Every structure is written in structure tokens, then in C-alpha cells.
């Protein structure tokens, strides 16, 4: 029986890597606090809102931060490189893992979909898991994503890890450490990641509560923006006509935007924003800022341009800070995870995965061309190097490396093929 049939629900067969899973021992409750935490599953915030990965994504800032960071991880090229010697690096397109990352990770997903989903799992649940499918030589041919909510990881006495996966029908299967690609960032025990949702629960819960409060106010019309002032007592006939007109205007329709005729000397009085309204708006801004800070996303990237110069001298510096101190952590997680977990076949120890960070400026043609010009003038980029970075074919004589501008001679690097390592270009 094939691995895919086993995963999709057919009766399992014996596997040399699968180990018997033991049922969980339950939750130990020794105090009222333990009982409350067990009943609430640890998801209830002080504001009363239950914060889970699903409810957190209903907050616009969380959705934007998760989609932004996962999109960066999904769109940048992930290259498999081979270290030929101490100085030479070449693209290892012959390795099956290259096709997994750039062509087809499994039967039903495209590469960007797989990488975006794995990154989102890390951001919302702290961990991302994928089952490795190997060929007879031990090389990874496919990656089957496993939902983090149905995976339990534990460290055995020999310090190796065991991953227990619960299927939809409730049956459990345990996999050895070498069978799983495990991605995570911050960890306190060394083998399980922590999620921002856990430690930003109060900020996210407050945001959910405020949004629910605002929706209720708008639904019930409890926020008074204006009033009608009458010098005396309104007659019943005028009161009935006025109520009918106001009801029609509240429901919109063809008369929406027209003028109401006030009777018997009535005045229209516009009421300003109350202190409570102003505090509610400021609280929402603070909540957005807290959530963005947790994910390391600058304000302008989730739509708040009020403080666009709070980091560096402007938006450009904020964006650079996001790349340097934010997603660089995710890049390292992917590079080390794929290199250690998926390129561990003993046949080729010189393999490693590298994310092409230079692709971040693909949409900025001015910055890209300026960088190429600096590389050409500095003598460390050839014409064919640049053409390769732009997905253009090499040209004859394009492998010459010009000397710096203060030199009188050009330098030709022997054996140049345009395939040298361009990780940081």
C-alpha cells in the first residue's frame, strides 16, 4: 500500500519508520486555576474574547501581518546550492528537493501555496510540520503537510524526537524525527515553537472585543451624532410625521441624502465626539500597534501611515528594518530547516538551501539597476551574471569582469559560466 493511500484513510500497513503511538494521559488538575484553564482551553483573554488562530485572523491587523509575512516566504526563490569547493557554488537543479520547492511539493499543492501555508502555521500556531516522502536513495521527493493541531511532538530518553499524528478518524501514527520537516522559531524547550498568539492574546482579545462593541453600537444606532431641539412640546401629529421621515432616512432608499423639513420651530443640533468615543478610537490604534509590534511589521505595512517616520527617517527605512529584523528570522528558519531535515541524504554533503533575498527588490527597477551598475563598476559582476539575474540568456564575451574605475586594465575571470553563487545579488 502506498503512503498516499495510508494518509488518505486506507487501513495502515506495517512501516519500518512508523512506531506505535501511546494514548495521551490527560490533563492533571490540582487547583481551581487548572480546572478553569482546562475548561477554557487556555484561549480566553481577560477581555472575555476567546482567542484562537481562527478568531485572531478576524482581526484585520493579524490577517494583514500573517498574509504579508507568509507571502514574502512564498514568493522568494528557494534555491538548492552545491558547494563544489571552498570558493565555488553552483545551482543543484538535479536534486529532487529542487523540484519539491520550485515545481510540485505534493500532488495537490503548488510551491507558493505550500510555503505560504507552512509559514502561516508558524505565525499562528508556532509550528509547521510536513511528512517527508523519500525515494530508494533516501532523497526527499515530496512533502505532505500535517496540520499542527493534530501533531504532538515529544522528546524521548535518547534525546530524539517523536511526532504523533492524529488522523481524522482518531487513529494515531507516530513518526521518527528523520521523517518530519519541522519549522519553528522561538522556543523555550528546544523542540517546540511558541506562537505570537499565545503571548499577544490580551491585545488580540481586546481588539476583538472593541470590534464587537463597535459593531453592536452601529447595529443598534446607540451612538447619537445629532439631536432635534424644539422650543416647546411637539404635537402628536408633527411627532408622527417626523418619526416617519426619520425612519425613512435611517433605512436609506431614494430619499437618502435629501433634506428633512423641521416643523414648529425645531432646530437641528450636531453633537460632537464624546471623550468615550475618542478613547475608543485611540484604544483601537494602540491595539493595532501592539499586534504589529508582536509580528515585527511596521505600521505603514498594515495601513497605519499616521506615524510613518517612527522607524528611521521614513518608510524606506521602516521597510528595510522589516526585512533585516523581521523576515530575516523566517528566512533562516526555512534555510536551516530544509538543509538539515530535507538534504540529509549522505550521498552529497555539500548541499544546502538558500533563499534569494535579492528578489525582494524585483519590483524596484531603479534600485535593481543601480545595484547592477555598482557590481559592474566594482568588477564583481559580469554582463552574463546580470543577464542571468534578469532571466536573460548569456551573450558571447559577456563573462568579462571589468576592473574598478580607478584601474587601467580589465580583469577576466577564467572559466566564468554565469553560474557562480548569486545569493545576495
Any idea what DSSP says for residue 324? I
Residue 124 clears pLDDT 80, i.e. is over it? yes
Give the model's pLDDT for residue 18. 47
Share above pLDDT 90 across residues of the chain, in percent, rounded to a whole number: 29
pLDDT at 415 over 50: no
Highest mean pLDDT among 87-91, 177-181, 269-273, 317-321: 177-181
pLDDT confidence band for 10 (50 / 70 / 90): very low
Name the pLDDT band for 263 (thresholds 50, 70, 90): low
241: cell is 410625521
Tell me how many helices (H) and strands (E) the chain has.
14, 13
**Dist CA 402 CA 418 (whole Å):** 14
What is the pLDDT at residue 84? 84
Residue 118 β-bridge partners: none
Question: C-alpha distances in angstroms, 260 versus 70, 267, 271?
Answer: 51, 11, 18
Lowest mean pLDDT among 72-81, 268-277, 333-342: 268-277
Whether 108 shows a pLDDT value over 90: the answer reads yes
What pLDDT was estimated at residue 30?
57
Quickly state the pLDDT bin for 134 (edges 50, 70, 90): very high
Q: What is the DSSP letter of 302?
A: G
The rounded distance, in Å, linking the Cα atoms of 291 and 288 is 5
**Which has more pLDDT, 373 or 316?**
373
Give the three cell numbers for residue 87.
Answer: 570558493
Which tops the pLDDT comparison, 248 or 313? 248
What lies within 8 Å, CB to CB, of 153 at 6+ separation is 127, 161, 162, 163, 164, 182, 191, 192
Would you list the domain boundaries of the chain? Answer: 40-221+275-361, 226-270, 363-425
* Least confidently predicted of 8-12, 80-84, 232-236, 372-376: 8-12
Whole-number percent of the chain with pLDDT over 70 = 60
Whether the predicted pLDDT of 322 surpasses 60: yes
CA 279 to chain centre: 31
| Range scoring the smallest mean pLDDT among 16-20, 255-259, 269-273, 296-300 | 16-20
Considering 190-204, 265-279, 327-341, 398-412, the range whose residues carry the highest mean pLDDT is 327-341
Q: Does residue 28 register a pLDDT over 70?
A: no
Strands 400-401, 351-355: parallel, antiparallel or unpaired by DSSP? Answer: unpaired
Task: Kindly state the average pLDDT of the residues 169-193.
Answer: 93
Q: What would the pLDDT profile of 325-382 be if each residue is shown by its tens digit?
A: 888 999 999 999 999 999 976 666 789 999 988 777 766 677 778 888 888 888 888 8
The model's pTM is 0.69
- Average pLDDT (248-275) is 56
DSSP 345: -
131 pLDDT higher than 80? yes
The confidence score (pLDDT) of residue 46 equals 53
**Cell numbers at residue 3, please?**
503512503
Strand 400-401 with 411-412, pairing: antiparallel
Sign of CA dihedral 64, 65, 67, 73: positive
Higher pLDDT, 221 or 152: 152
Residue of higher predicted confidence among 167 and 272: 167
Amino acid at each position: 500500500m502506498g503512503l498516499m493511500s495510508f494518509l488518505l484513510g486506507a487501513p495502515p500497513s506495517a512501516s519500518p519508520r512508523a512506531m506505535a503511538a501511546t494514548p495521551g494521559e490527560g490533563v492533571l488538575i490540582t487547583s481551581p486555576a487548572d480546572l478553569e484553564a482546562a475548561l477554557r482551553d487556555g484561549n480566553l483573554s481577560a477581555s472575555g474574547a476567546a482567542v484562537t488562530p481562527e478568531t485572531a485572523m478576524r482581526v484585520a491587523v493579524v490577517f494583514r501581518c500573517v498574509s504579508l509575512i507568509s507571502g514574502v516566504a512564498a514568493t522568494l526563490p528557494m534555491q538548492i546550492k552545491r558547494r563544489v569547493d571552498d570558493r565555488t557554488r553552483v545551482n543543484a537543479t538535479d536534486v529532487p528537493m529542487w523540484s519539491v520547492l520550485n515545481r510540485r511539493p505534493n500532488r495537490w499543492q503548488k510551491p507558493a501555496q505550500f510555503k505560504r501555508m507552512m509559514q502561516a502555521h508558524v505565525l499562528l500556531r508556532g509550528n509547521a510540520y510536513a511528512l517527508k516522502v523519500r525515494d530508494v536513495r533516501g532523497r526527499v521527493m515530496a512533502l505532505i503537510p500535517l496540520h499542527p493541531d493534530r501533531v504532538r511532538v515529544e522528546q524521548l530518553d535518547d534525546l530524539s524526537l517523536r511526532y504523533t499524528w492524529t488522523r481524522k478518524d482518531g487513529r494515531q501514527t507516530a513518526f521518527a524525527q528523520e521523517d518530519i520537516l519541522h519549522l519553528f522559531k522561538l522556543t523555550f524547550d528546544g523542540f517546540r515553537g511558541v506562537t505570537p498568539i499565545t503571548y499577544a492574546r490580551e491585545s488580540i482579545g481586546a481588539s476583538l472585543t472593541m470590534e464587537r462593541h463597535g459593531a453592536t453600537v452601529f447595529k443598534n444606532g446607540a451612538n447619537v451624532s445629532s439631536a432635534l431641539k424644539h422650543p416647546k412640546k411637539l404635537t402628536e401629529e408633527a411627532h408622527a410625521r417626523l418619526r416617519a421621515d426619520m425612519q425613512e432616512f435611517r433605512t436609506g432608499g431614494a430619499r437618502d441624502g435629501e433634506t428633512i423639513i423641521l416643523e414648529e420651530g425645531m432646530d437641528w443640533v450636531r453633537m460632537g465626539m464624546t471623550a468615550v468615543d475618542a478613547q475608543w478610537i485611540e484604544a483601537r490604534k494602540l491595539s493595532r500597534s501592539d499586534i504589529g509590534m508582536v509580528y515585527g511589521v511596521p505600521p505603514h505595512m498594515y495601513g497605519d501611515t499616521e506615524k510613518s517616520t517612527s522607524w528611521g527617517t521614513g518608510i524606506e527605512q521602516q521597510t528595510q528594518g522589516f526585512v533585516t529584523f523581521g523576515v530575516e528570522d523566517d528566512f533562516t528558519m526555512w534555510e536551516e530547516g530544509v538543509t538539515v531535515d530535507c538534504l540529509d541524504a549522505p550521498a552529497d554533503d555539500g548541499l544546502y538551501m538558500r533563499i534569494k533575498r535579492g528578489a525582494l527588490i524585483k519590483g524596484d527597477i531603479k534600485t535593481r539597476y543601480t545595484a547592477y551598475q555598482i557590481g559592474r563598476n566594482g568588477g564583481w559582476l559580469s554582463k552574463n551574471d546580470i543577464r542571468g539575474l534578469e532571466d536573460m540568456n548569456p551573450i558571447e564575451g559577456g563573462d568579462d569582469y571589468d576592473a574598478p574605475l580607478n584601474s587601467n586594465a580589465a580583469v577576466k575571470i577564467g572559466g566564468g559560466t554565469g553560474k557562480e553563487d548569486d545569493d545576495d545579488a
